[in-house]
């Protein structure tokens, strides 16, 4: 394998997102880790950008054929985000929350969930009954709750046990 521990550490050290190995003050350790993971999985010509938001930093990974990194219903993307989060917490690289988005999947998913939330809220109000949504991961449930938080016609809560936990939209009378 490796002759000494220093060779091993050097081999696993994150590469900069930039094509050159020169230091760039705009480099981000999380982007470096994402680049390392994705390129070691065999993907080339990727671009990683990040955007700081009020409560997190969102990392956008773009490139050819990255759909496989999203996985069915975003499962692989969730695993990748979890892995990066674990590495971050163990190495104490950044303090902000990390959100990984591949090919704009999370943005599209959030728009879809917000539209679904508004539609199902209308159904709940019109029929006067609770609407139970399909089971979804915590990050998707959060989008629904936040979207309907200020809607005076409905209340939301989660019920069930992971991975079958779901959002319930309850009309207010």
Per-residue pLDDT tens digits for 74-122: 889 999 999 999 998 898 888 888 999 999 999 999 999 999 999 999 9
The CATH number given to whatever domain includes residue 13 is 3.30.300.20
Residue 29 burial (C-beta neighbours within 10 Å; 0-12, 13-18, 19+)? middle
31 and 97 housed in the same domain? yes
Q: At what angle do helices 138-148 and 105-127 cross, to 10 degrees?
A: 50
Structure tokens that stand for 119 in this block: 């539609």
79 and 111 housed in the same domain? no
The CATH number given to whatever domain includes residue 143 is 3.30.1370.50
130 and 163 housed in the same domain? yes
92 and 42 housed in the same domain? yes
Structure tokens that stand for 8 in this block: 């091993």
- Cα–Cα distance, 114 to 119 (Å, whole number): 9
21 and 80 housed in the same domain? yes
- Cα–Cα distance, 151 to 169 (Å, whole number): 11
Q: How many domains is the chain partitioned into structurally? A: 2
Range of the domain at 85: 5-103
16 pLDDT tier (thresholds 50, 70, 90): very low
141 and 99 housed in the same domain? no
* List of residues 6+ apart from 157 with CB closer than 8 A: 167, 168, 170
Structure tokens that stand for 82 in this block: 């979890």
95 and 115 housed in the same domain? no
30 and 99 housed in the same domain? yes
pLDDT tens string 48-79 = 999 988 888 899 999 988 999 999 888 899 99
């Amino acid at each position: 394998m490796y002759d000494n521990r220093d060779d091993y550490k050097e081999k696993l050290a994150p590469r900069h997102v930039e094509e050159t190995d020169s230091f760039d003050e705009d480099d981000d350790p999380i982007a470096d880790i994402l680049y390392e993971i994705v390129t070691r999985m065999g993907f080339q010509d990727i671009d990683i950008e990040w955007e700081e938001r009020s409560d997190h930093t969102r990392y956008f990974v773009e490139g050819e054929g990255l759909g496989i990194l999203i996985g069915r219903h975003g499962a692989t993307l969730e695993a990748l985000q979890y892995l990066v989060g674990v590495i971050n917490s163990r190495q104490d690289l950044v303090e902000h929350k990390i959100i990984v988005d591949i090919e704009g999947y999370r943005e599209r998913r959030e728009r879809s969930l917000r539209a679904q939330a508004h539609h199902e809220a209308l159904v709940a109000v019109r029929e006067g009954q609770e609407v139970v949504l399909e089971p979804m991961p915590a990050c998707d449930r959060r989008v629904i709750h936040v979207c309907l938080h200020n809607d005076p016609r409905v209340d939301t809560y989660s019920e069930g046990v992971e991975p079958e936990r779901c959002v319930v939209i309850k009309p207010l009378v």
